[in-house]
Structure 1
Amino acid sequence: MTGLRAWVNRVRRRWWRAVFFRVLFGERSAGRLLPGTRISPSTCIEHEDALVLGDHVFIGHFNFIEASAGVRIGAGTQVTNFVSIVSHSTHRAVRVAAQLSGATEPGDAALIRAPIDMGERCFIGPHSTIEAGTVLGHGTLVASHSRVRGRYPDFAVLAGQPAQIVGDVRDGDERWLAAHPELRLPYRQWQERVETHAGAVR
């Protein structure tokens, strides 16, 4: 009997994964088809019309993207799992709401609302939060469990709560490329394009 249950459980997991968690290539964003972009069906996106994606973006499982003020995710960026990307916050409004202040509406002054812009080829580690108004430069790496708010330059390594710059991804990339010289030329071409046309390749 236990053997039968084990078999049923395995079949059930495989079926559930194939139907509900299999991440498939092919998305549409801002009127463009993106054949290399993948978004897990377990990711919740609110205001999807204000989410602008580049191609070859990967968004993994159990993420929450609230894009009411606009969210842009550059080409090749990876958002791992259990990440929150929120373009507005009501944490102040809950203390000046009608029940407390007597006002009929808390008003826009009580809300934090600002677009989020992520550059190309960023990596967002699991259990991180990207807050309203954040701008990530190209090639940024966000360590897991980080809380990110602010503007950060290209190639930054971010970590902490609140996140701070703790390194430069080019240092690690250089060591890795030394062992894989066949990849050095395309990497250099992309790096030079970013450095020469900062902000223009998004």
Structure 2
Amino acid sequence: KNKWEKEFSAGKWDYLDSTPSERARSAIIGMYCQHFFPKGKILDVGCGLGTTTDFLIGSQKKQYLGLDISEEALKKALIKKVKFKNTDFANFKSVTKFEIIIFNEVLYYMNEADALKQALNILAKNGIVIISLYRMKNKRYDQKIWKASRKLFRSVEAIEITSTVKKQLVTWRVEVLKRK
């Protein structure tokens, strides 16, 4: 947790809220939210600066809850004027069922199998999980996570975005999943 506090405080992650290639992913996630559940309750796990909220419609912002372990990230996110909670997803308890649960570039930092099982428990009956993961050429961090997701969920739609970041070709996959 201290690592995240220092990095968000120092501005290391501010580019996520301003760089077009980073915001493109959030725009796609927002589009999926509008398409599948324009009035649904949204849980954004590891929301960071709350960038996804820039791409939600008004009724969705009222139903949005962003979680992050970094108080510094959430202090910066307050400008978005939506609801945030400072907690680790592993410790998050909810009686509310969410139509949409977002994991935007965060499953690498969690026990993905446990996080996906927990998501299943708080996902509304016909709800969706949106997962965004990146992969760099010759480095496939995402493979294990996609494999774990297939045990509980089925893919219903996906988009891949490829961009050059720091002179390296990076591809992001944003996928919409439903329970099996």
Task: Flag whether TM exceeds 0.5 (same fold).
Answer: no
TM-score w.r.t. the length of structure 2 is: 0.24
Higher relative contact order (CA 8 A, sep 6+): 2
Q: Which has the higher helix share?
A: 2
Structure exhibiting the larger radius of gyration computed from Cα positions: 1
